[in-house]
Amino acid sequence: MNAPLGSRTYRAVFISDLHLGTRGCRSDFLLDFLRRTECRQLYLVGDVVDGWRLRRSWYWDETHDEILRVILAKARAGTQVIYIPGNHDELFRAWMPMEFAGVRLRRDAEHVTADGRRLLVMHGDEFDSVVRYARFLAVLGDWAYTSALVLNRWFNAARRRLGYPYWSLSAWLKRQVKEAVKAIDRFETALAAEARRRGCDGVVCGHIHHAAIREVDGVVYMNDGDWVESCTALVEHADGRLELVDWAAENRLSFWNAPARAASLAPA
């Protein structure tokens, strides 16, 4: 698979919360990111396929197919692909541990950076008390969140017609709710504590769709975000430096010019 012009090479890439199978998935940004990125290790940190949504209504298009083809092509080409299922694709947890088509299915993983730091990699829903102890509330919250994403889609369609770039209304709404902010803080603290308990220097997770890198009680907490709202990934450079990449922000002007991107997004 020939890398497109402008491609980037990283030591490791961490992505989560793709939610393939939903209309909210920004599959255009995701496919472009995967095609223009090479790495030694690719971590799929949960909620890759949204089984919750697909059980209620089927949605799957050619871009979703192409995303899976690109990931499998990377595995065939030598990239170590580790898939850690989340709560929305929890059906795959019954098959762990196993390997298929070069993709390793694991409950969690440990990644060692180039500079020797040990990172615990897990989706994180185990530390979300709503998902863990009150599944009904989690599903209800999922319904409300999906409604916000529908609103987000129409909102951005209007912005596009007016010539404005993509901007996540749903992410902005979430940041305005004080209880959501408190829940994010509790989640970060719990994940950092688990990493410390296991003797790791940091933790990489997803689940809450809130990209961040910060120190929590001496442990580096890193959330790679999502591909529904923020379109972000966590990447490790050759020297071990860790960085959040905001693909939507970096490609706002070029992506809003749909004709110019058509060739890049067409199936390879």
Q: What is the mean pLDDT of residues 16-20?
A: 96
Phi, psi of 12 (to 5 degrees): -150, 150
What is the residue-averaged pLDDT of the chain? 83
pLDDT tens-digit profile of 46-102?
Answer: 999 999 889 888 899 999 999 999 999 999 999 999 999 999 999 999 988 899 999
Q: Residue 89: name the closest of 10, 172, 175, 25 by CA.
A: 25
Contact 105, 96 (CB under 8 A): yes
Signed CA dihedral, 112, 118, 122, 124: sign only: negative
Q: Between the CA atoms of 208, 93, 191 and 146, what dihedral angle is there, to the nearest 10 degrees?
A: 10
Amino acid, res. 224: D
* CA proximity to 226, closest of 171, 159, 148, 152: 171
Which of 4-8, 14-18, 117-121, 237-241 bottoms out in mean pLDDT, i.e. has the lowest?
A: 4-8
Check residue 145 and give its pLDDT. 59
**pLDDT tens by residue, 170-216:** 555 555 544 555 677 788 999 999 999 999 999 999 998 889 999 99
Angle at 147 between CA 145 and CA 150, to 5 degrees: 115
pTM over 0.85? The answer is: no
Q: Which residues are CB-neighbours of 216 under 8 A, at least 6 positions away?
A: 188, 189, 191, 192
Task: Give the strand order in the sheet containing 212-216.
Answer: 109-112, 118-121, 202-205, 219-223, 212-216
If you count them, how many residues does the chain have? 268
Per-residue pLDDT of 213-240, as tens digits, reads 999 999 999 999 999 988 999 999 999 9
| C-alpha distance from residue 51 to each of 15, 46, 133, 249 (Å) | 18, 12, 19, 28
Radius of gyration for the alpha carbons in the chain, expressed in angstroms and rounded: 18
Which tens digits make up the pLDDT trace of 102-141?
Answer: 999 999 999 999 999 999 999 999 887 644 444 443 444 5
In 107-250, which residue ranges form alpha helices assigned H by DSSP?
A: 129-133, 135-161, 169-176, 178-197, 247-250
Does the pLDDT value for residue 29 go beyond 80? Answer: yes
Angle at 232 between CA 8 and CA 51, to 5 degrees: 115
Q: Cβ contacts of residue 106 below 8 Å, gap of 6+?
A: 82, 83, 84, 96, 97
**What are the beta bridge partners of residue 220?**
202, 215
The whole-angstrom separation of Cα 141 and Cα 136 is 9
